[in-house]
């Protein structure tokens, strides 16, 4: 399930974040690549434990965890600190799959990666190429969003970033462990929650149908949650 979360950051927020990133010192992204990924990874990253990455990461998490659509889709348990990357001309990240377990660089806590996220911080007009390609049940999906928008997708997906041919693609990327391990179960819960929200607007949150569906939603979470 690929879900776009629009306007996680406002345009003013993006401008603020980009001012910090454009003034930052970047390093070779291969430093954080695994044995397989290092062969296909050509980009730049901010040191994840640096002041800039930590400050901007906290800002992004505050915005994201207050977003109802994100919470509904992800049902997050724990979220790794956001990281930041930049792709300039000829830089790319070939087809790969994210590590199943990642370690929080700030706490050394181990976390299962259920969902991957990319928050776009460059407008599509700022660069050519640089599409995020994600393989799912319906084929390969090409993603290139407005600055401030986020794409959420299963970490089990093969994906890549195509070569940038003009400009620079700047983004934040990170992972989370969901309360619901199964992507299929999360999809069902997301559809059900969105239906409940729609019914709440049309017939009211206290209508019998809305209350019954809300009960079903929470009972399914009780059945499937691992936290």
Claim to verify: residue 105 and residue 198 sit in the same structural domain: no
The answer to whether the annotation marks 169 as part of a ligand binding site is: yes
Phi and psi at residue 209, in whole multiples of 5°? Answer: -65, -40
If we measure between CA atoms, which residue out of 89, 39, 81, 78 comes closest to residue 58? Answer: 81
Claim to verify: residue 132 and residue 78 sit in the same structural domain: yes
Claim to verify: residue 32 and residue 112 sit in the same structural domain: yes
Q: With a cut of 70, which residues of the chain have pLDDT below it?
A: 33-37
CATH of the domain at 213: 4.10.860
What per-residue confidence (pLDDT) applies to 221? 97
Distance CA 152, CA 2 (A): 6
Dihedral (Cα; 88, 92, 97, 100), 10-degree rounding? -30
The answer to whether the annotation marks 159 as part of a ligand binding site is: yes
Give me the domain span that covers residue 202. Answer: 183-224
pLDDT digits (tens, 9 = 90+) for 155-207: 999 999 999 999 999 999 999 999 999 999 999 999 999 999 999 999 999 99
Claim to verify: residue 113 and residue 161 sit in the same structural domain: yes
Claim to verify: residue 85 and residue 107 sit in the same structural domain: yes
Claim to verify: residue 122 and residue 193 sit in the same structural domain: no
The pTM of the full predicted model, rounded to 2 decimals, is 0.94
The answer to whether the annotation marks 185 as part of a ligand binding site is: no
The answer to whether the annotation marks 98 as part of a ligand binding site is: yes
Claim to verify: residue 146 and residue 214 sit in the same structural domain: no
139-143: which pairs have CB atoms within 8 A and are 24 or more residues apart?
A: 141/2, 143/2, 143/4, 143/118
The total number of structural domains in the chain stands at: 2
Claim to verify: residue 134 and residue 211 sit in the same structural domain: no
């Amino acid at each position: 399930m690929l879900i776009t979360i629009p306007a996680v950051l406002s345009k003013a927020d993006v401008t603020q974040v980009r001012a910090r990133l454009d003034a930052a010192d970047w390093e070779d992204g291969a430093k954080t690549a695994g044995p397989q990924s290092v062969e296909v990874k050509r980009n730049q990253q901010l040191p994840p434990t640096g002041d800039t990455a930590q400050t901007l990461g906290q800002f992004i998490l505050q915005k994201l965890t207050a977003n109802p659509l994100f919470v509904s889709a992800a049902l997050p348990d724990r979220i790794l600190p956001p990281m930041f990357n930049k792709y300039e001309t000829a830089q790319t990240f070939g087809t790969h799959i994210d590590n199943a377990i990642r370690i929080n660089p700030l706490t050394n806590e181990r976390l299962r990666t259920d969902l991957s996220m990319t928050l776009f911080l460059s407008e599509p007009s700022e660069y050519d190429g640089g599409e995020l390609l994600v393989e799912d049940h319906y084929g390969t999906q090409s993603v290139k969003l407005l600055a401030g928008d986020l794409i959420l997708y299963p970490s089990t997906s093969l994906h890549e970033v195509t070569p940038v041919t003009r400009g620079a693609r700047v983004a934040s990327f990170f992972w989370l462990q969901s309360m619901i391990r199964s992507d299929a179960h999360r999809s069902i819960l997301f559809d059900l929650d969105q239906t409940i929200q729609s019914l709440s607007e049309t017939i009211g949150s206290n209508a019998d149908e809305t209350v019954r569906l809300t009960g079903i939603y929470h009972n399914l979470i009780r059945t499937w949650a691992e936290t």
